[in-house]
Amino acid sequence: MLDFYDLVIIGGGPAGLAAALSARENGLGKILIAERDNCLGGILNQCIHNGFGLHYFKEELTGPEYAGRFIKKLAGSGIDCALDTMVLEIARDKSVKILNKKGYRSIGAGSVIIATGCRERTRGAIAVPGERPAGIFTAGTAQRYVNIEGLMPGRKALILGSGDIGLIMARRMTLEGAEVAACVELMPYSGGLTRNIVQCLEDYNIPLYLSHTLIDIQGKKRVERVIAARVDENRKPVPGSEKVFDCDTVLLSVGLIPENELSRGAGIEIDPRTNGAFVYENMETSSEGIFACGNAVHVHDLADFVTEEGFRAGKAAAGYILKGGKSSGGFINVNTAGGVSYTVPQRITTEALESKTDLFFRVNRVFGRSEILVRDGENIIRTCRRERMSPGEMERISLPPCSVGGLTVEAKEV
């Protein structure tokens, strides 16, 4: 007989944990969390640095402490957890195909929440030139080695890319006695939070080379040296600007991609800008009754924001089931202009427009003093000022109740 749950949540990280607790608080009965690792918590388990929880808990926690607070809430909640369980497919009828030590089976679901997080871009994805010696890791892999396995990936490292994990690993490697030669970033701005640039690079005198990239990795059995060069406005290396760094390790921090294989397999519409699912304000995807939240939708700055989306998705999934499996009807599209890369949600239901709605977005370059405009055609719905904006930090704006045919978000320097 097919096991049946009102809600199956795929992923037991911060988004999945929050979604499960929210669905339970909003009256949903049978809930299952399917997690491929052997414990709950997701990426938080290897993030032993502090800085988590400032928004949600109003105090500073490490990643494991942040996850532990939610895991503790699961005790006695009646929410089922299947660990060491790989989800292979979400079928059109919302049944979920899983594989674990008990074998392959299908689980029926009234609704599904995809909270699978994201993955790192690898060397193959960015086509770094040079030889293929040992000593090249993604920053997240190195983080797991150091923080969970107790292994050092190298003794003298160079970091390519300035994403938050790479910045944090620059500090972590230094604290463990390694030397970090530099952080090299292709873009003219950092991809990480400003606080991480200060606390992880500047505080440890680690140089950050903006508008630079690696043009060669050299070494036989192990990395021996790398060559970086400045790039022009077309991101092409500038002859004569080469810098040689002797090192035995290269850490890649060149971007994160939402885990979207299950979404694609389920026929869910994908936003090419985020590589995650198109979602409505309640985190429902283009497939009725299937929701997505957290880094599976778009890459977040803070776990607190991931948690917030999880709560929203859990509440919406509970409402979907308790209302007899019905979604809202009409919607409007949220478009972008000017310096805005993308928004989440990408669509807002007409029902939600009757109350306050939050929009998250990222800009595609560094802005000084600027103005955010949200308009319906030529009619301005909301304006908001910012002293500074950068691609590495997600922005948020609240919309008042309104009746519109469509929305466009743009940013302008003033």
> Could you tell me which of 149, 384, 126, 105 has the C-alpha nearest to residue 252?
126
The angle that helices 63-74 and 303-322 make with each other, rounded to 10 degrees, is 20
Burial category of 107 from C-beta neighbours within 10 Å (exposed 0-12, middle 13-18, buried 19 and up): buried
**pLDDT value at position 127?**
77
Q: Would you state the structure tokens that stand for residue 197, as one six-digit string? A: 């640039």
Q: What's the average pLDDT block by block, 10 residues per block, for the chain (414 residues)?
A: 88 97 95 96 94 92 96 93 97 94 94 96 80 93 96 97 94 97 94 91 97 95 96 94 97 92 95 95 95 96 94 96 80 93 94 91 94 93 94 92 91 92
**pLDDT value at position 245?**
97
The model's pTM is 0.93
Q: Would you state the structure tokens that stand for residue 185, as one six-digit string? A: 């970033």
